[in-house]
Amino acid sequence: MSWTEERIERLKKMWADGATASQIADELGGVSRNAVIGKAHRLGLEQRPSPVKPGEEKEKKAAPAPAAAAKPAPRAEAPSPRPQAAAPHAPSPQRLNPDMQYRSIGPGGFIRQGPGEQQAPIPPAPPRRLVPAKPSPEVADKTSLLDLNDRICKWPIGHPGEPDFHFCGQAANPGFPYCVEHCGVAYQAQLPRRDRRPPPPLPFGGPRVR
């Protein structure tokens, strides 16, 4: 089927009306939705909300980042002693906390409280001076999660959970999460399709095909 004047007109009309490429292809018949999209582009009538390109390019996919949650991790300067008291919900009969104050509970399981009755205030914990924990000797001089920022290479060294897990820590390649050396590992130029090597055959005949 060829793109006659009439079919092109119909394509333009439906495209402008917001029909999807699939709908247009079905309506016209004899063409695939890819053909419709391709034709629409060649006609220059694009600029439609694409599900894939709503705006600018988003976060780069950090290629091998396993658990490197690459956030600067805001440092807690002076944490407040106790954020809030536990809500006085109906405590289960088991595992009673001896430090807690309990009140009688009615048949419905709710605390019975008179109209003017106030909840007894929980006394605040005595102020305590908080000192930073000493880092374990394995990571003493290494770049830890808390040391990360956007100017530091976040390439993980070792594996999360290991005692000496840390990050590269070199000066990052500007605009990239890694230093120049690790950028070279993380990012590879994509070859033209014809130059790509086909993936090696999977063992056992590969995944099932329905």
Provide the binding-site residues for DNA, judged by CB under 7 A.
1-3, 20-23, 31-35, 37-42, 46-54, 58, 192-194, 210
152: nearest Cα among 60, 68, 52, 59: 68
Closest contact distance (angstroms) between CB of 70 and DNA is 17
Q: What is the 3-state secondary structure (H, E, C) of the chain?
A: CCCCHHHHHHHHHHHHHCCCHHHHHHHHCCCCHHHHHHHHHHCCCCCCCCCCCCCCCCCCCCCCCCCCCCCCCCCCCCCCCCCCCCCCCCCCCCCCCCCCCCCCECCCCCECCCCCCCCCCCCCCCCCCCCCCCCCHHHCCCECHHHCCCCECCCEECCCCCCCCEECCCECCCCCCCCHHHHHHHCCCCCCHHHCCCCCCCHHHCCCCC
Query: Does residue 171 contact residue 179 with C-beta atoms inside 8 Å?
Result: yes
Task: Report the nearest approach of DNA to the CB of residue 105 (Å).
Answer: 47
Nearest approach, Cβ of residue 154 and DNA (Å): 20
| Least distance from DNA to the Cβ atom of residue 110, Å | 43
Of 20 and 170, nearer to DNA (C-beta) is 20
- Rank residues 10 and 33 by Cβ distance to DNA and give the closer one: 33
Q: At its nearest, how many Å lie between DNA and the CB of residue 155?
A: 22
Q: Among 20, 59, 55, which Cα is nearest to 36's? A: 20
CB-wise, 25 or 172, nearer to DNA? Answer: 25
CB of 194 to DNA, least distance (A): 3
